[in-house]
A and B are shown apart, each in its own frame.
Chain A
Amino acid sequence: MDEEKKSMKRRSFVKGLSAWLLASGAAVQAQAFSGKIPGRDEEDQRYVGQEGKRFGMVVDLRKCVGCQACTGACKVENKTPRHHFRTWVAEYERGEYPAVHKVFLPQLCNHCASPSCVKVCPTGATFSRGDGVVMVDDKVCWGCGYCVNACPYDKRYFHPQSKTVDKCTLCAHRLDSGLLPACVESCVGGARVAGDLNDKKSQVSRLLAGFSTAVLQPSQGNRPQVYYIGLDGSVQNQVRGTVNLDDLARMRDGKPRREWQTAYK
């Protein structure tokens, strides 16, 4: 009888233990399976963004002179690593002498309304804030690179130090302190205008209402929120032209091959 009692006791202990394990496991799971990352769970301001706003940019290409002040200002403000840029101004020449035209294309993350990078992220490290700014949490990102391939605008890269994906944040840290993005602040011609698209009185809204604008690669379906005034048709979609002359110069100068570089044929 004693033996049976012991076995009963043991059985109830095992039962209790497994129930306890299950319950605590479920509690952990419930937290883990919120589907979000810690910053969003805690509703951290930096993750949630500014309530009721929707940030975007209008680039007035008639005013861009290709001075690269934005490229430099961004590099300094965000301390981007060597050879990597969050924004830059591509420079093209269209036509042949004497019918020649220069085309400048300032580019940055489009902070899309339907970002293909966010969709494919398996860890949730990249996400859209409530105000539309697309961010990467470099504490969560595991560096699979799926978002880098999913971005139709090539605006993501691996940061060599953090070994995570890095990209333009529209200077969210500045926006949240009431400042303008560094590229906007430094633009000598006033070509870059950033602001709240929800505020009908903001400068971006007035430019959007007053001019015909276009976005890059609209057929990708990402609904980009960086609009261009005076966008040249030859660069709106995937750019087809000669290879980057910078890269040709690299080859001419006998510089070492990069892991990925323009193919010459």
Chain B
Amino acid sequence: MEIFESLFTISSVTPDRPWGLNIPNYFWFTGSSAAAFIIASFAHVFGIRKYKPVAGFSLLLAFVLLVAAPLNLIDDLRQPGRLFNFFLYGWDHFLTSPMKWGVLLLMAYPLLILFEALLLYRTHFVHKAQEASSALARGFYRLMALGNMRLDEAALQKDEKRGFVLGAIGIPLALSVHGYTGYILGAVQANPLWSTPLMPVLFLASAMVSGAGLLIVLLPIVQRYFSPMQRVDGDMMLALARLLGWFIVIDLVVRFFWLTFAMPFAGDSGYTLVEYFRHHFVGVVYVEYLLCLIVPMIIVFSPLAKRVGWVFLAGLITAVGVWLFRWNTVVGGQGIGRTATGFLEHTPHWFGPDSITAIMANWGAFIAILAIVMLIFPWDREMAEHYQGEHHGKE
């Protein structure tokens, strides 16, 4: 018998881990935001006409997701009142702490989306300001129009150019904002599950899946109940379903490379990962991979993709599945013992910071902000305009 196979731990200290529910939830929000932004950019930057009707809504969704996401981080801090310390101290760790430069990206990105959205809908806000009866409303819409009340050809052209530039800068920024979250984990060499240069790529690939999934879940709801068309665009759902399918393919390919290197060819940490995946076999293989990636992939590439209900289901499953991937990675990864033997289990609290109710509150905040943004921005009218006189609107 090898000596390693017969070690009995009589007593040791079982360590606590710092990150609970907040962190996978945060990763899911930023990732989905990046994906929603990229889908919006298909129309705004690459000029793909097919995605024009959803581009506006997708851009706003990206913004709202990124407004709600950092609330998770603040909730995760044990000393949230010291938020300002981040700006005052610790700049000598700038190059070695992904959290340091990541937070700067995290602040720049939602501002960029906001300005892009304001430029996109400036004409609307100018009209609103002109129609407004009260000084307060006039001031508000003037602000939303970025103080520029000109609507001549030259001004509109300038808007378009600026929007294009912001969109173009936004693509690498969106990828960086989510890439950095993977970087945060990848940089932790003490954790055998996290410590891989592939982590940012893995996070981006699964983010595209969750973002497309979320859009597929929200689009039929907003089109059916909150837009002037009051019906679901089946063609758009089919297009998004196929897009989701390709995102799943990319995600599976990246995960294939990750796992096939991380287990047999990774030295000592490979043994730990074999143990880890054996420990989490059902959750990872049957739920995360088979149910939440392979099954939806089959649905969206099959004739079922022409049925809105099935596509909706596929989108929902993948969005949930990517959340589980985040959970398994963040919480499962922390469960790997370093000085302790075996694996740790996390039991989230119901109340207080970093608890189940805190996450529900965050989702509540997300829905509330989305509702406010959807009320202020004329995404619905813009969407309807794209359908007028085109074949798109048919279901």
Least CB distance from B1 to A in Å reads 7
On whether the beta carbons of B14 and A244 are closer than 8 Å, the reply is yes
A259 to B96 alpha-carbon distance, docked (Å): 30
> Which residues on B sit within 8 Å (CB–CB) of A146?
18, 97, 99, 184
Report how many A-B pairs have Cβ atoms within 8 Å: 240
Interface residue tally for chain A (C-beta within 8 Å)? 69
Which of B49-57, B77-85, B293-301 contacts its partner?
Answer: B77-85
A178 at the interface (CB under 8 A from B): no
Within 8 A of A (CB), among B229-272: 267-268, 271-272
Which of A15-23, A50-58, A230-238 contacts its partner?
Answer: A230-238
> Which residues on B sit within 8 Å (CB–CB) of A148?
16-18
> Which residues on A sit within 8 Å (CB–CB) of B7?
92-94, 103, 234-235, 239-242
B6 at the interface (CB under 8 A from A): yes
A91 to B13 alpha-carbon distance, docked (Å): 10
Interface string of B177-195 (1 = CB under 8 A from A): 0000000100111111000
A151 to B1 alpha-carbon distance, docked (Å): 32
A35 at the interface (CB under 8 A from B): yes
Least CB distance from B183 to A in Å reads 11
On whether the beta carbons of A144 and B17 are closer than 8 Å, the reply is no
Known A116-B190, A265-B279: A94·B3 in contact at CB below 8 Å: yes
> Which residues on B sit within 8 Å (CB–CB) of A35?
89-92, 94
> Which residues on B sit within 8 Å (CB–CB) of A90?
9, 11-13, 339
Q: Can you name 5 A-B residue pairings with CB atoms under 8 Å?
A: A94-B8, A143-B78, A220-B190, A244-B342, A263-B342
Given contacts A33-B91, A124-B93, A244-B342, 16 further A-B contacts (CB under 8 A): A85-B13, A91-B9, A92-B8, A96-B6, A144-B76, A148-B18, A150-B190, A153-B339, A157-B15, A158-B78, A220-B190, A240-B341, A244-B11, A245-B10, A246-B14, A259-B346
Interface residues of chain B, those whose CB is within 8 Å of chain A, are 1, 3-4, 6-20, 73, 76-80, 82-83, 85-94, 96-100, 103, 184, 187-192, 267-268, 271-272, 275, 279, 334-335, 337-349
The 8 closest A-B pairs by CB, nearest first: A145-B18, A143-B78, A241-B7, A124-B90, A243-B342, A152-B190, A35-B92, A90-B12
